């Protein structure tokens, strides 16, 4: 019996070793830079040079799934970020989330995309921190982009250096919310816990990818607050219809239209009509808007990244510029049903953090 148990244990261990398809790595980066002053509210924040640490734990892929071969064997995993804005008004942030690393130029150049949530230590408070118009809440969304050059250091260590962009904003869930963007340089090391595996050869580039035009019905919803601090959070609904055409195994282009029912605009229009009569805004001005947009979707596995640029064809209340943009991440529950999160902005000014539900058919 003991011999049988030993044999089964040995056999199970052998199978586990045979089925190993990924390795693990830890990346630690120190970064330092500057705040990007995209609004006048940020001018008095520019007192120091923000710095921090970005720690990433991730899996390195070797092509055992088709999407890994399509994207040149990327990494995926989680991250932790700490950033000190060197400013008593902005304070510090702590964030966590998920990320992908994509490789170029013989895997010497790495591009990181990271998305998550963060905790702010010093959000706006009308009594203790009234000058902070960047963060209206303790919990905000966090997006990071990094471009690094990597070179072997010693044993399983690698040296990395490059550029890092960070963004923190609550998507105007609560006012104020101008958000903070920063840019800078980073330097750090990566440690690989295991020896690299053999990469599987990609044979699909020679096969032409075809797919008919697809139709999409989407509802984007959430809560938002108008620029008046303390005015209250109201629900919004942004239904959309668009078509997409997948042009390759990775990419699709989109063309569509959408309507914006942003309830927080109702009270803001009334406020503007009374407080600023010179603006010629009447209390009964329609708060609804309609837009047309073009977009691009990058399919990875069940996850895709989305970017859209739109133009308001109906906008009676012109509090924002007529051009808007959106970036987001989608997760395909099935081939036809998806969910996700997106941020709608007017250039650098966020309007809404949208929860996405949709069908592609």
Domain boundaries, the chain: 23-192, 208-360
> Predicted confidence band at 2 (pLDDT cuts at 50, 70, 90)?
low
Q: Are the C-beta atoms of 353 and 173 separated by less than 8 Å?
A: yes
How much is the pLDDT for 137? 93
Q: Quick one: which of 36, 341, 353 has its CA closest to 170?
A: 353
Highest mean pLDDT among 41-45, 130-134, 299-303: 299-303
Q: Using CA atoms, how far apart are residues 93 and 343, in angstroms rounded to an integer?
A: 20
Least confidently predicted of 20-29, 171-180, 312-321 = 171-180
Summarised one tens digit per residue, pLDDT across range 59-77 is 999 999 999 999 999 999 9
Q: Are the C-beta atoms of 32 and 83 separated by less than 8 Å?
A: no
How much is the pLDDT for 43? 66
How much is the pLDDT for 150? 96
Is 208-360 the same fold as 23-192?
A: yes
How much is the pLDDT for 206? 64
Percent of the chain predicted with pLDDT > 90 = 71
Q: Quick one: which of 112, 241, 102 has its CA closest to 166?
A: 112
Q: Using CA atoms, how far apart are residues 84 and 200, in angstroms rounded to an integer?
A: 42
Q: Are the C-beta atoms of 260 and 215 separated by less than 8 Å?
A: no
How much is the pLDDT for 5? 46
Q: Using CA atoms, how far apart are residues 170 and 224, in angstroms rounded to an integer?
A: 10
> Predicted confidence band at 229 (pLDDT cuts at 50, 70, 90)?
confident
Residue 191 pLDDT exceeds 60: yes
Q: Using CA atoms, how far apart are residues 352 and 326, in angstroms rounded to an integer?
A: 10
What's the whole-number average pLDDT of the chain? 90
Least confidently predicted of 162-171, 205-214, 288-297, 328-337 = 205-214
Q: What is the DSSP letter of 125?
A: B
Query: Is 232 or 239 the better-scoring residue by pLDDT?
Result: 239
Residue 213 pLDDT exceeds 60: yes
Residue 3 pLDDT exceeds 70: no
Residue 13 pLDDT exceeds 80: no
Question: What's the whole-model pTM score?
Answer: 0.87
Average pLDDT for residues 143-172, to the nearest whole number? Answer: 95
> Predicted confidence band at 14 (pLDDT cuts at 50, 70, 90)?
very low
How much is the pLDDT for 227? 84
How much is the pLDDT for 221? 97
What pairing do the DSSP bridges indicate for beta strands 214-224 and 180-192?
unpaired
How much is the pLDDT for 19? 64
208-360 CATH fold: Porin (2.40.160)
Query: Is 312 or 1 the better-scoring residue by pLDDT?
Result: 312
Longest Cα pair distance anywhere in the chain, in angstroms? 92
Q: Hey, which bits of 85-211 come out as E strands? A: 92-104, 109-120, 139-154, 157-169, 180-192
Matching CATH number, 23-192, of 1.10.3720.10, 3.40.50.300, 3.30.1490.20, 2.40.160.20: 2.40.160.20
236 sits in which H/E element: strand 234-246
Q: List beta partners, residue 148.
A: 110, 162
Residue 9 pLDDT exceeds 50: no
């Amino acid at each position: 019996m003991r011999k049988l148990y030993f044999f089964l244990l040995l056999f199970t261990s052998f199978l586990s070793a045979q089925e190993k398809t990924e390795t693990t790595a830890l990346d630690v980066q120190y970064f330092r830079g500057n705040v990007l002053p995209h609004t006048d509210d940020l001018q008095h924040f520019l007192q120091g040079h923000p710095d921090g640490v970005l720690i990433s734990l991730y899996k390195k892929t070797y092509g055992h799934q088709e999407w890994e071969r399509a994207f040149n064997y990327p990494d995926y995993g989680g991250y932790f970020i700490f950033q000190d804005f060197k400013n008593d008004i902005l304070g510090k942030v702590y964030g966590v989330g998920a990320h992908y690393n994509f490789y170029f130029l013989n895997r010497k150049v790495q591009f990181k995309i990271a998305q998550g949530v963060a905790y702010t230590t010093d959000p706006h408070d009308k009594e203790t921190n009234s000058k902070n118009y960047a963060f209206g809440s303790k919990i905000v969304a966090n997006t990071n982009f990094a471009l690094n050059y990597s070179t072997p250091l010693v044993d399983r260590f690698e040296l990395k250096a490059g550029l890092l962009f960070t963004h923190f904003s609550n998507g105007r869930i609560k006012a104020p919310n101008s958000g903070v963007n920063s840019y800078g340089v980073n330097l750090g090391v990566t440690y690989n816990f295991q020896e690299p595996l053999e990469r599987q050869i990609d044979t699909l580039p020679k096969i032409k990818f075809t797919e008919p035009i697809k139709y999409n019905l989407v509802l984007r919803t959430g809560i938002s607050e108008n620029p008046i601090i303390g005015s209250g959070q109201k629900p919004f609904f942004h239904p959309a219809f668009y078509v997409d055409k997948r042009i390759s195994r990775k990419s699709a282009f989109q063309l569509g239209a959408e309507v914006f029912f942003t309830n927080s605009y109702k009270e803001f229009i009334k406020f503007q009509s009374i407080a600023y009569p010179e603006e010629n805004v009447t209390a009964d001005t329609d708060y609804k808007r309609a837009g047309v947009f073009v977009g691009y979707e990058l399919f990875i596995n069940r996850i895709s990244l989305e970017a859209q640029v739109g133009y308001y064809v109906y906008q009676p209340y012109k509090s924002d510029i007529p051009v808007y943009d959106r970036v987001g991440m989608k997760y395909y529950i099935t081939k036809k049903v998806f969910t996700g999160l997106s941020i709608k902005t007017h250039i650098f000014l966020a309007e809404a953090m949208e929860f996405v539900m949709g069908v592609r058919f």
